[in-house]
Amino acid sequence: MYLSDSQYENIKENVVDMYEECGLTTYPIDCMEIARRLNYRLVPYSKLKGKKLVTAMNISMDGFHMLVEDKVSGMFMWVIFYNDENSHERQRWTILHEIGHIRLDHTQESELAEAEANFFAKYSIAPPPLIHYAQCDDYVDVAVKFDLSIQAAYYSMCYYHKWLQYGPADYEPVEIRMLELFGLAA
Protein backbone atom coordinates (compact mmCIF):
# COMPACT_ATOMS: atom_id res chain seq x y z
CA MET A 1 0.00 0.00 0.00
CA TYR A 2 1.30 3.42 -0.93
CA LEU A 3 0.82 6.43 1.29
CA SER A 4 0.12 9.94 0.07
CA ASP A 5 2.95 12.47 -0.07
CA SER A 6 1.45 14.30 2.90
CA GLN A 7 1.32 11.06 4.93
CA TYR A 8 5.00 10.40 4.19
CA GLU A 9 5.90 13.97 5.15
CA ASN A 10 3.91 13.81 8.39
CA ILE A 11 5.68 10.60 9.37
CA LYS A 12 9.09 12.11 8.58
CA GLU A 13 8.22 15.09 10.81
CA ASN A 14 7.11 12.70 13.56
CA VAL A 15 10.38 10.77 13.35
CA VAL A 16 12.50 13.92 13.59
CA ASP A 17 10.30 15.18 16.45
CA MET A 18 11.01 11.87 18.21
CA TYR A 19 14.75 12.25 17.62
CA GLU A 20 14.54 15.73 19.20
CA GLU A 21 12.44 14.58 22.16
CA CYS A 22 14.89 11.76 22.83
CA GLY A 23 18.04 13.81 22.26
CA LEU A 24 19.37 11.47 19.58
CA THR A 25 22.64 12.59 18.05
CA THR A 26 24.25 9.37 16.79
CA TYR A 27 23.52 6.36 14.64
CA PRO A 28 22.87 3.47 14.53
CA ILE A 29 19.59 4.48 16.11
CA ASP A 30 19.15 2.97 19.58
CA CYS A 31 15.50 1.90 19.66
CA MET A 32 15.70 0.71 23.25
CA GLU A 33 16.98 4.09 24.38
CA ILE A 34 14.18 5.77 22.42
CA ALA A 35 11.59 3.59 24.17
CA ARG A 36 13.17 4.36 27.56
CA ARG A 37 13.19 8.11 26.94
CA LEU A 38 9.58 8.02 25.76
CA ASN A 39 8.68 6.10 28.94
CA TYR A 40 7.57 3.02 27.01
CA ARG A 41 8.25 -0.26 28.75
CA LEU A 42 9.89 -3.02 26.71
CA VAL A 43 9.05 -6.62 27.51
CA PRO A 44 10.84 -9.44 25.67
CA TYR A 45 8.79 -12.55 25.01
CA SER A 46 11.33 -14.55 27.06
CA LYS A 47 9.94 -12.84 30.20
CA LEU A 48 6.47 -14.22 29.46
CA LYS A 49 5.50 -17.65 30.72
CA GLY A 50 2.81 -20.18 29.89
CA LYS A 51 -0.46 -18.79 28.59
CA LYS A 52 0.92 -15.23 28.34
CA LEU A 53 3.67 -16.39 25.98
CA VAL A 54 1.22 -18.39 23.87
CA THR A 55 -1.09 -15.37 23.68
CA ALA A 56 1.79 -13.08 22.68
CA MET A 57 2.89 -15.48 19.93
CA ASN A 58 -0.71 -15.72 18.69
CA ILE A 59 -0.94 -11.93 18.51
CA SER A 60 2.34 -11.62 16.61
CA MET A 61 5.48 -13.63 16.03
CA ASP A 62 7.42 -10.32 16.07
CA GLY A 63 5.85 -7.98 18.61
CA PHE A 64 2.94 -5.77 19.57
CA HIS A 65 2.08 -2.90 21.89
CA MET A 66 -0.64 -2.22 24.41
CA LEU A 67 -1.66 0.36 26.97
CA VAL A 68 -1.34 -1.07 30.48
CA GLU A 69 -2.23 0.35 33.89
CA ASP A 70 0.69 0.39 36.32
CA LYS A 71 -0.50 -1.40 39.47
CA VAL A 72 1.53 0.84 41.78
CA SER A 73 0.92 4.31 40.35
CA GLY A 74 -2.42 3.71 38.64
CA MET A 75 -0.99 5.50 35.60
CA PHE A 76 -1.34 4.05 32.13
CA MET A 77 1.79 3.36 30.13
CA TRP A 78 2.66 1.91 26.76
CA VAL A 79 4.24 -1.52 26.80
CA ILE A 80 5.96 -2.97 23.75
CA PHE A 81 6.30 -6.74 23.71
CA TYR A 82 8.87 -8.13 21.28
CA ASN A 83 10.17 -11.55 20.32
CA ASP A 84 13.75 -11.65 21.55
CA GLU A 85 14.35 -14.95 19.75
CA ASN A 86 14.32 -13.00 16.48
CA SER A 87 17.59 -11.55 15.24
CA HIS A 88 18.87 -8.40 16.96
CA GLU A 89 18.19 -6.44 13.79
CA ARG A 90 14.62 -7.75 13.55
CA GLN A 91 14.01 -6.84 17.19
CA ARG A 92 15.15 -3.26 16.52
CA TRP A 93 12.85 -2.98 13.49
CA THR A 94 9.91 -4.41 15.46
CA ILE A 95 10.40 -2.00 18.37
CA LEU A 96 10.55 1.01 16.03
CA HIS A 97 7.51 -0.30 14.14
CA GLU A 98 5.55 -0.49 17.41
CA ILE A 99 6.77 2.96 18.48
CA GLY A 100 5.44 4.14 15.12
CA HIS A 101 2.00 2.71 15.86
CA ILE A 102 1.96 4.51 19.22
CA ARG A 103 3.24 7.87 17.95
CA LEU A 104 0.90 7.81 14.96
CA ASP A 105 -2.08 7.20 17.26
CA HIS A 106 -3.16 3.96 15.62
CA THR A 107 -6.15 2.55 17.48
CA GLN A 108 -7.07 -0.32 15.16
CA GLU A 109 -5.26 -2.78 12.96
CA SER A 110 -5.51 -1.88 9.29
CA GLU A 111 -3.53 -2.03 6.10
CA LEU A 112 -3.01 1.74 6.38
CA ALA A 113 -1.76 1.52 9.97
CA GLU A 114 0.72 -1.21 8.97
CA ALA A 115 1.97 0.80 5.98
CA GLU A 116 2.46 3.88 8.15
CA ALA A 117 4.23 1.96 10.92
CA ASN A 118 6.47 0.24 8.37
CA PHE A 119 7.46 3.58 6.86
CA PHE A 120 8.00 5.02 10.35
CA ALA A 121 10.38 2.15 11.18
CA LYS A 122 12.17 2.40 7.82
CA TYR A 123 12.64 6.16 8.04
CA SER A 124 13.63 6.19 11.70
CA ILE A 125 16.17 3.37 11.50
CA ALA A 126 18.06 4.53 8.37
CA PRO A 127 16.83 7.83 6.91
CA PRO A 128 18.25 8.73 3.49
CA PRO A 129 20.00 11.94 4.69
CA LEU A 130 21.98 9.90 7.24
CA ILE A 131 22.76 7.17 4.69
CA HIS A 132 23.99 9.95 2.40
CA TYR A 133 26.17 11.48 5.10
CA ALA A 134 27.54 8.04 6.06
CA GLN A 135 28.69 7.64 2.42
CA CYS A 136 27.39 4.10 2.15
CA ASP A 137 28.62 2.48 -1.05
CA ASP A 138 26.17 -0.40 -1.01
CA TYR A 139 23.59 -2.13 1.13
CA VAL A 140 26.27 -4.07 3.03
CA ASP A 141 27.65 -0.69 4.16
CA VAL A 142 24.15 0.31 5.25
CA ALA A 143 23.79 -2.96 7.19
CA VAL A 144 27.05 -2.35 9.04
CA LYS A 145 26.71 1.39 9.70
CA PHE A 146 23.02 1.29 10.67
CA ASP A 147 22.94 -2.15 12.33
CA LEU A 148 20.38 -3.59 9.92
CA SER A 149 19.72 -7.03 8.53
CA ILE A 150 20.91 -7.49 4.96
CA GLN A 151 17.29 -7.50 3.75
CA ALA A 152 16.39 -4.26 5.60
CA ALA A 153 19.64 -2.67 4.42
CA TYR A 154 18.84 -3.60 0.82
CA TYR A 155 15.41 -1.93 1.05
CA SER A 156 16.91 1.09 2.82
CA MET A 157 19.48 1.44 0.05
CA CYS A 158 16.76 1.18 -2.61
CA TYR A 159 14.82 3.91 -0.82
CA TYR A 160 17.99 6.00 -0.60
CA HIS A 161 18.53 5.68 -4.38
CA LYS A 162 14.92 6.76 -5.04
CA TRP A 163 15.45 9.69 -2.67
CA LEU A 164 18.54 10.70 -4.66
CA GLN A 165 16.84 10.26 -8.02
CA TYR A 166 13.40 11.73 -7.36
CA GLY A 167 13.85 13.94 -4.32
CA PRO A 168 14.51 17.67 -4.39
CA ALA A 169 18.00 18.96 -5.21
CA ASP A 170 18.33 20.48 -1.75
CA TYR A 171 17.53 19.07 1.65
CA GLU A 172 13.96 19.54 2.84
CA PRO A 173 13.47 21.53 6.10
CA VAL A 174 12.74 18.32 8.05
CA GLU A 175 15.97 16.79 6.71
CA ILE A 176 17.96 19.87 7.70
CA ARG A 177 16.48 19.62 11.20
CA MET A 178 17.57 15.99 11.35
CA LEU A 179 21.09 16.73 10.15
CA GLU A 180 21.39 19.57 12.68
CA LEU A 181 20.44 17.19 15.49
CA PHE A 182 23.22 14.83 14.44
CA GLY A 183 25.68 17.73 14.06
CA LEU A 184 25.93 17.13 10.31
CA ALA A 185 24.37 20.28 8.82
CA ALA A 186 26.75 22.57 6.98
CA–CA separation, 165 and 160 (whole Å): 9
159 CB-contact burial (10 Å; exposed 0-12 / middle 13-18 / buried 19+): middle
Structure confidence by residue, pLDDT tens digits, 80-118: 999 999 999 999 999 999 999 999 999 999 999 999 999
pLDDT band, very low/low/confident/very high, at 24 (cuts 50, 70, 90) = very high
Nearest to 37 by CA among 87, 91, 103, 88: 103
The domain segmentation of the chain, as residue ranges, is 5-182
CA–CA separation, 43 and 82 (whole Å): 6
Structure confidence by residue, pLDDT tens digits, 163-172: 999 988 899 9
